[in-house]
Structure 1
Amino acid sequence: MNIRKLHIFYKTATCLNMSQVAKEMYISQPSISQCISELESEMGIRLFDRIGKKLYLTNEGKIFYEYTRRLLNIYEEAVDAVQYSKTHQGKIVIGASTTIGAYIMPYVIHEFNKREKDIKISMIIDNKHHIEELLLTNKVDLAFIEGSIGAKEIISKDIWTDELVFISSTEHNWREKEYLEVADLQDNVFIIRESGSGTRERFEEFLESQGITVNSTIELSHLEAILNYVKLNMGVSCVPYMSVIREERLHSLKVYRLKGHELNRSLFCAIHRDKYISVPIKCFMDFCEEFDMFNSKS
């Protein structure tokens, strides 16, 4: 068994199409079939069921697929690690869920770059579920997300606390209120993030805990779009407070908290449990633990 065989198996198990893998890896389809057969022979198990012209992973194949992903991640880490010296030099690829990437990480990276000029940082911003997948496939070194992680290969640490608030236009019938009651949430059009958003998950958890059903919603994938819809009085929303600090100061929309309720959530730093934590990664993680996101924006 070697790395090339593992790559071939992993790609085949991912798309279940040998022709596609042959095209992507510039090798013949018979070579792929032979590689899979050799792996099956070495381990004494069948990795794929071949039914008609389609491939299906066996139960043993599914187990081996999960471990192969981890083995390939570790191999890539080893190759990367030997490219860097043991000093504070190198490159870090960070994943961030949409809200964190837009409203926290610019300040974090700006301050970090003042201290560590030799560590280069690039960032990928997407919703939480996609960032989790990037961690699993070693496309990012570490990530900052809202909400819990489902994959057991990923470990996470509570690093910051964020508050969710309710917002409306300055023309909405909430406008004279200082605080909202739970009953105020009924009979409104809510403008919410797409499925997979940590903000939406926390908001829906709260509604369920209060026995509230929202029947009328508009779903948008960008927070800026949500703010614009709310400003035009097309609905109300529940958003991270950090995303509307500027709007609140400019009085371009109204910000509310619920009387008797604190709608807080944890923001996490997440990393694959098999990840090699290089000096640059450790340096950045330590910096983030010290970072005060609200004081940095005041």
Structure 2
Amino acid sequence: MIQATLHQLKVFETMARHGSFTRAAEELLITQPTVSSQIKQLTKVIGLPLFEQIGKRLYLTEAGKELLQTCQEIFGRLENFEMKVADLKGTRQGQLRLAVITTAKYFIPRILGTFCQQYPGINISLAITNHQHIQERMMENRDDLYVLSEPSDNMGLSTQPFLDNHLVVIAPKNHPLAGKRNIPITNLDSEVFIMRESGSGTRQAIQKLFYQHGLSVEVRLELGSNEAIKHAIAGNLGISILSQHTLISEGKDSELTILDVEHFPIKRRWYVAYLEDKQLSVVAKAFLDYLLQKSTKFSIPPASLLAKV
């Protein structure tokens, strides 16, 4: 291994991540033959094959899996060393890798914006995805921090709540129940719903509440996007239950309104999490502290943002 170069290890790590010579070459800004050559030289140094091809796909061998873990540890420690040196010099700089579930996109960019103004030397890698893909990223240790609404109990996470996340019933402003007060939850039994995809944190919270009150509502449409759901509501395809944060972009001319239904809002929290065995970098610690201190400035948008009925 002493004969292996850092460049070869970086090429291998990138190749292992993408499972593609072409995509690895594109990320590293080198040619595909160079990627192939570096992998061959590293394989010769190791003395065991690092990849095996089955059909058109490349898979890591056992030796490849072990080397990938070693590479991640090496590059992680080197990156953290660079950040600590920058911190000792009085300048915070480095890379922050953050993954958040889709609904968090309504407030995380604003928090990141003010954070980057305070620490202009920090570069951000932000992945916005669903709960399933977040868990896959956790298993691969691809990020520093995660923002979730429902942290998994079996992922070995260190979690801290930092912001309220209320779920509200949203309907078109011309809905018959719009403007009424204290609507019984049983009235929702006759409504047609637009829901997030099965497995989403929002959908699970809704199903739990409905089960407690014996409701079995009709789901006309399943969509994986909050914006698509809002457009569907405005198009009178049904009503939905979404995080109140999704209303940040709405205004007085909005075609939507919040229904005043008993047992709503469903009160939940946003959590920031990281793998409990992970050594956070200087930059990740700085953002974690910033998030916990400043999150109160990014509270839930008031219902008054919506048009009056």
Q: TM-score, normalised by structure 2?
A: 0.68
| Cα separation, partners in 2 of 1:69 and 1:264, compared to 1, 3 Å | farther
State the partner residue of 1:102.
106
State the partner residue of 2:53.
none
Query: Match for 1:158: what amino acid?
Result: P
Q: Does 1:166 align with 2:145?
A: no
1:277 pairs, out of 274, 278, 281, with: 281
TM-superposed CA distance for 1:147, in Å, is: 0.9
Which residues in structure 2 correspond to 1:45-124 (within 5 Å)?
A: 71=73, 74-75=76-77, 77-78=79-80, 81=83, 84-86=86-88, 87-93=90-96, 94-106=98-110, 108-114=111-117, 116-124=118-126
Query: Match for 2:122: what amino acid?
Result: K
Contact kept, 8 Å, 2:16 with 2:60, in 1: the verdict is yes
Contact kept, 8 Å, 1:143 with 1:269, in 2: the verdict is yes
Paired residues in the alignment total 289
State the partner residue of 2:150.
147
Contact kept, 8 Å, 1:165 with 1:238, in 2: the verdict is yes
Contact kept, 8 Å, 1:97 with 1:144, in 2: the verdict is yes
| Cα separation, partners in 2 of 1:282 and 1:208, compared to 1, 3 Å | same
| Cα separation, partners in 2 of 1:232 and 1:95, compared to 1, 3 Å | same
Cα distance in 2, alignment partners of residues 67 and 12 from structure 1? 13
1:197 pairs, out of 197, 200, 203, with: 200
1:181 pairs, out of 184, 189, 202, with: 184
State the partner residue of 1:254.
257
State the partner residue of 1:226.
229
1:243 pairs, out of 242, 246, 257, with: 246
Q: What is the root-mean-square deviation in Å for CA atoms of aligned residues?
A: 4.4
Choose 217-226 or 74-83, whichever is displaced more: 74-83
| Cα separation, partners in 2 of 1:248 and 1:179, compared to 1, 3 Å | farther
Structure 2 gap segments, 5+ residues each: 25-31, 49-56, 303-309
1:289 pairs, out of 278, 292, 297, with: 292
Q: TM-score, normalised by structure 1?
A: 0.70
The superposition leaves residues 9-40 of structure 1 with CA deviations (integer Å, 9 ceiling, x where unpaired) of 999999999xxx9xx99788xxx9xx99x99x
Query: Match for 1:244: what amino acid?
Result: L
Cα distance in 1, alignment partners of residues 33 and 279 from structure 2? 26
SS of the residue aligned with 1:247? coil
Query: Match for 1:101: what amino acid?
Result: K
Contact kept, 8 Å, 2:162 with 2:271, in 1: the verdict is yes
SS of the residue aligned with 1:258? coil
Query: Match for 2:213: what amino acid?
Result: Q
TM-superposed CA distance for 1:100, in Å, is: 1.1
Query: Match for 1:206: what amino acid?
Result: L
Cα distance in 2, alignment partners of residues 252 and 91 from structure 1? 43
Choose 199-208 or 79-88, whichever is displaced more: 79-88
TM-superposed CA distance for 1:193, in Å, is: 1.8
SS of the residue aligned with 1:234? coil
Query: Match for 1:126: what amino acid?
Result: I
Structure 1 gap segments, 5+ residues each: 42-53
Identity of aligned residues (%): 22
| Cα separation, partners in 2 of 1:268 and 1:92, compared to 1, 3 Å | farther
| Cα separation, partners in 2 of 1:245 and 1:212, compared to 1, 3 Å | same
TM-superposed CA distance for 1:173, in Å, is: 2.4
